[in-house]
A and B are shown apart, each in its own frame.
Chain A
Amino acid sequence: MDKTQILENLAHAAIEGDEDLARESAEQALSNQIDPLEAVEQGLSKGMAVVGARFESGEAFLPELLMAAGAFDAAMEILQPEIEAQKKEITKLGTVLIGTVKGDVHSIGKNVVATVLGTSGFDVVDIGVDNATLDIIQEAKKAKADVIALSSLMTTTMPAQREVIEVLEEMSLRDKFLVMVGGGPVNQEWADEIGADGYGKSAVQAAEVARRLLGREG
């Protein structure tokens, strides 16, 4: 099989969310001496971009996105060690720690944001739902996060977003992290009021905002 075909298969595996094809094509890429970084950038990522665009336009839904991310991860398990062995690095945009705040168990919107950030080239650490303020901050330190992304779906849990920012200030850590907020009742005014660095209305916007915050536009 030639190189173009293998790269196409990798893209196709992501588009179809086909983990088996992803693994198989990743193996083929390595055995055919294709640069693993090229396999990612010219193969897998192209497929992810197609799924991302379909998701944005409303043609594809969360399952397609998750399956694509699954195929991506499956291929990466094979390609990553080789990339490291060759001392190459995938350009990552930065690390985002994401979670839903204390008292709030709404997870879907947060999961969508995490998936879209992950497929847009960010390292994402998802700490799930119902996270106490201090835990969020500890986890962000541990993950060496650039951005803390906080989801809140209820007016009763929005104050916890403010609390994270206040506690960061109290701990003199505010300048270590960029803070991004979102979720159903959250809006730009609230973000401004609590002194957040960014707000996103949707998952796609969340990725744009994160890129902007980290000065990685375009």
Chain B
Amino acid sequence: MPDFLDFMERATTGQILAENDYYLKVLIPNVTKVVREFGIRYDPANPVSSDDELADRLFEAAVEFVTRTGIYCGATNRVIEVGRDELLQAVENLPDGSTFGEGRDRRRFRARRPGDERPPWCHVGTGIVASSEEIATAQVEGYGGIPQASSISIPAFGRVRGMHVVGGSPLEIYATIGSVQAGRRALGRAGRPGLPILNLISSATTSMATIAGTHPDFGLRPSDGWLIDFLAEMKVDFETLNRLAFVHVTGGNVGSTALPILGGYAGGAEGTALVMTAYYLLGILLFRGAYHLTGPVHFRHGCSTTRDGLWVMSVAGRAASHNTRYPAIGLAYAAAGPCTKEYFYEAAAANLCCVASGYAGVQTVHPAKAVIEDGVTPLEALFNVEMAYAAAGVSSERASELVNRFLQKYEDIIGEAPKGKRYQECYDLRTGKPSEEYVRLHEEIKEELTQMGVSFRF
């Protein structure tokens, strides 16, 4: 099986092609053809698919698509070719899960199947920006306080000594190292020093900062996870490959990450499901990932919780869960923000969709597309865990029924979803507790969802 350096060689010797030509002459036509040849069809009536044959066809289609399309290296303007046999062999050779964390919080992360009774791995928190170290610490401490949290995602620092952090600048090095240190300290205070940090380092927009944040005295540990992204769509560059080279050589868990754009280069729901499944294969073979993190992002609404987004999430997850042992975390972006009813409905839909479709894990659904500074709180993380546990063992058919009902609550207003509140507007900074209003809203929603047929375990 080819290793990382073999792929580097292909990245410097493959067919040379302008980026736009790769999209127009290779990627787009291949998506259209493969979707047609394999009969992949979007089913809006069932936002959570239970079609196993479709899932298996989608997997086959993804193998064919990757073989025909390769992956584009933006740094060399060449296509990295990928062979069918090596893909299948890499899938065959996958280990049975990966291990993360230290001490009491050291755990094995394994694949799940659709409808699996076992609760999923709960990856809590969002890689969003915090305005200050104080708020970042309060957020992480809150996450650590959730007993079911299996791993966490720490916030990025938006400022250093009052100065706006600019990517690629020395401030980014300070922000990156500072955010990991603060995250660890907060986890210690929450009594969970061993909880693995699985989002690489949110503050690091460059490979240089990633590497800085990994310094053994200050940063991540090999039992954490390094998220490394594909560039949407079907593209890598040297920033990606530099991070990969570093983690491959020094040791650590690579989290292959793909957030395909629904309505982007892959087109509609069918094409997006195809590329989303293709990324699993490339994550296994090219990235040699320990885990995968994925979810579609709607190009117009910036979220994953649209009807077609959920369908894409469900079929791609089902295809991979049925055909590989690669543990994947489903990540959804919500349109609405903290302390709004709509956020809760969106998060409920996404959790049901992922857990029933066989995702090994779920991440806290990112509020308001994760673009608002301080726009995330631990109560969303708690609700996501409650919902993820409630979804374990629920069949896809049942999940689809429920998701259809949740969709009715927010589908029509998704373009004007409320932005919600920032941490300091619905949490007490002094005590780290949610406001009365927020606590009440959370209780009311759980009550309402229970009446709709969700069985919360806690």
Binding site for B on A (CB under 8 A): 58, 61-64, 66-67, 70, 102-105, 107-109, 112, 154-160, 184-185, 202
- B232 interface hit (Cβ, 8 Å): yes
Identify which of B129, B206, B299 contacts A62 (C-beta below 8 A). B299
Q: With contacts A62-B263, A70-B24, A105-B239 known, is A155 near B129, CB below 8 A?
A: yes
**Interface pairs A-B: 5 shortest CB-CB:** A103-B167, A185-B371, A61-B263, A103-B168, A159-B164
In Å, the complex CA distance between A66 and B266 comes to 12
Q: A159–B299 contact, CB under 8 A?
A: no
Tell me which residues across on chain A come within 8 A of B271, comparing CB atoms.
63
Tell me which residues across on chain B come within 8 A of A156, comparing CB atoms.
129, 156, 158, 164-167, 172, 203, 205
- B161 interface hit (Cβ, 8 Å): no
- B56 interface hit (Cβ, 8 Å): no
CB proximity to A under 8 Å, residues B158-178 = 158, 164-169, 172
Tell me which residues across on chain B come within 8 A of A64, comparing CB atoms.
267
Q: A155–B371 contact, CB under 8 A?
A: yes
CB proximity to A under 8 Å, residues B233-257 = 237, 239
Identify which of B158, B231, B263 contacts A155 (C-beta below 8 A). B158
Q: A157–B167 contact, CB under 8 A?
A: yes
Contact with A along B255-291 (1 / 0, CB 8 A): 0000001011111100100000000000000000000
In Å, the complex CA distance between A160 and B165 comes to 11
Binding site for A on B (CB under 8 A): 23-24, 28, 31-32, 129, 156, 158, 164-169, 172, 203, 205-206, 231-232, 237, 239, 261, 263-268, 271, 299-300, 302, 369, 371-373
In Å, the complex CA distance between A184 and B268 comes to 21
Tell me which residues across on chain A come within 8 A of B302, comparing CB atoms.
184
Kindly list 13 other residue pairs between chains A and B, CB separation below 8 angstroms, not including A67-B28, A156-B158.
A61-B267, A62-B261, A62-B267, A103-B205, A103-B206, A104-B167, A108-B232, A108-B264, A108-B265, A156-B165, A157-B205, A159-B166, A185-B372
A19 and chain B: residue at smallest CB distance: B24
In Å, the complex CA distance between A62 and B300 comes to 11
Q: With contacts A61-B268, A61-B299, A157-B166 known, is A67 near B24, CB below 8 A?
A: yes
Most chain-B Cβ atoms within 10 A of its Cβ — which of A102, A105, A157? A105
Tell me which residues across on chain B come within 8 A of A159, comparing CB atoms.
164, 166
In Å, the complex CA distance between A112 and B264 comes to 9
B372 and chain A: residue at smallest CB distance: A185
15 A–B contact pairs at CB < 8 A? A61-B299, A62-B267, A63-B28, A64-B267, A66-B24, A67-B24, A102-B167, A103-B168, A155-B158, A156-B129, A156-B164, A156-B165, A156-B167, A156-B172, A156-B205
A163 and chain B: residue at smallest CB distance: B166
Tell me which residues across on chain A come within 8 A of B231, comparing CB atoms.
105, 107
Q: A184–B369 contact, CB under 8 A?
A: yes
In Å, the complex CA distance between A11 and B207 comes to 46
B175 and chain A: residue at smallest CB distance: A156
Tell me which residues across on chain B come within 8 A of A102, comparing CB atoms.
166-168
Q: With contacts A105-B231, A108-B299 known, is A62 near B265, CB below 8 A?
A: yes
Tell me which residues across on chain A come within 8 A of B239, comparing CB atoms.
105
In Å, the complex CA distance between A122 and B271 comes to 30
Identify which of B237, B267, B369 contacts A105 (C-beta below 8 A). B237
Q: With contacts A103-B205, A112-B299, A155-B129 known, is A160 near B371, CB below 8 A?
A: no
Tell me which residues across on chain B come within 8 A of A185, comparing CB atoms.
371-372
Identify which of B169, B205, B232, B261 contacts A154 (C-beta below 8 A). B205
Q: A184–B166 contact, CB under 8 A?
A: no
In Å, the complex CA distance between A90 and B424 comes to 54
Q: B166–A103 contact, CB under 8 A?
A: yes
Tell me which residues across on chain B come within 8 A of A107, comparing CB atoms.
231
Q: With contacts A63-B265, A108-B261 known, is A155 near B373, CB below 8 A?
A: yes
In Å, the complex CA distance between A126 and B203 comes to 28
Tell me how far the C-beta of B232 lies from the nearest C-beta in chain A, rounded to whole angstroms. Answer: 6
In Å, the complex CA distance between A155 and B372 comes to 8
In Å, the complex CA distance between A70 and B167 comes to 34
Tell me which residues across on chain B come within 8 A of A63, comparing CB atoms.
28, 31-32, 265-267, 271
Tell me how far the C-beta of B384 lies from the nearest C-beta in chain A, rounded to whole angstroms. Answer: 22
Tell me which residues across on chain A come within 8 A of B167, comparing CB atoms.
102-104, 154, 156-157
In Å, the complex CA distance between A154 and B28 comes to 27
Tell me how far the C-beta of A110 lies from the nearest C-beta in chain B, rounded to whole angstroms. Answer: 12
In Å, the complex CA distance between A66 and B24 comes to 7
Tell me how far the C-beta of B158 lies from the nearest C-beta in chain A, rounded to whole angstroms. Answer: 6
B240 and chain A: residue at smallest CB distance: A105
In Å, the complex CA distance between A204 and B24 comes to 22
Most chain-A Cβ atoms within 10 A of its Cβ — which of B32, B237, B265, B266? B265
Tell me how far the C-beta of A10 lies from the nearest C-beta in chain B, rounded to whole angstroms. Answer: 20
Tell me which residues across on chain A come within 8 A of B203, comparing CB atoms.
156
Most chain-B Cβ atoms within 10 A of its Cβ — which of A62, A158, A185, A202? A62
In Å, the complex CA distance between A159 and B169 comes to 12
B369 and chain A: residue at smallest CB distance: A184
In Å, the complex CA distance between A159 and B205 comes to 15
B165 and chain A: residue at smallest CB distance: A156
Tell me how far the C-beta of A143 lies from the nearest C-beta in chain B, rounded to whole angstroms. Answer: 19
Q: With contacts A155-B158, A156-B172 known, is A66 near B28, CB below 8 A?
A: yes
Tell me which residues across on chain A come within 8 A of B31, comparing CB atoms.
63
Q: A62–B264 contact, CB under 8 A?
A: yes
Tell me how far the C-beta of A18 lies from the nearest C-beta in chain B, rounded to whole angstroms. Answer: 12
Tell me which residues across on chain A come within 8 A of B32, comparing CB atoms.
63
Tell me which residues across on chain B come within 8 A of A58, comparing CB atoms.
263, 300
In Å, the complex CA distance between A67 and B20 comes to 11
In Å, the complex CA distance between A155 and B28 comes to 31
In Å, the complex CA distance between A61 and B172 comes to 36
In Å, the complex CA distance between A62 and B23 comes to 11
B168 and chain A: residue at smallest CB distance: A103
Tell me which residues across on chain B come within 8 A of A61, comparing CB atoms.
263-264, 267-268, 299
Tell me which residues across on chain B come within 8 A of A155, comparing CB atoms.
129, 158, 371, 373
B297 and chain A: residue at smallest CB distance: A108
Q: With contacts A61-B268, A157-B167 known, is A202 near B263, CB below 8 A?
A: no
In Å, the complex CA distance between A61 and B206 comes to 30
Tell me how far the C-beta of B276 lies from the nearest C-beta in chain A, rounded to whole angstroms. Answer: 15
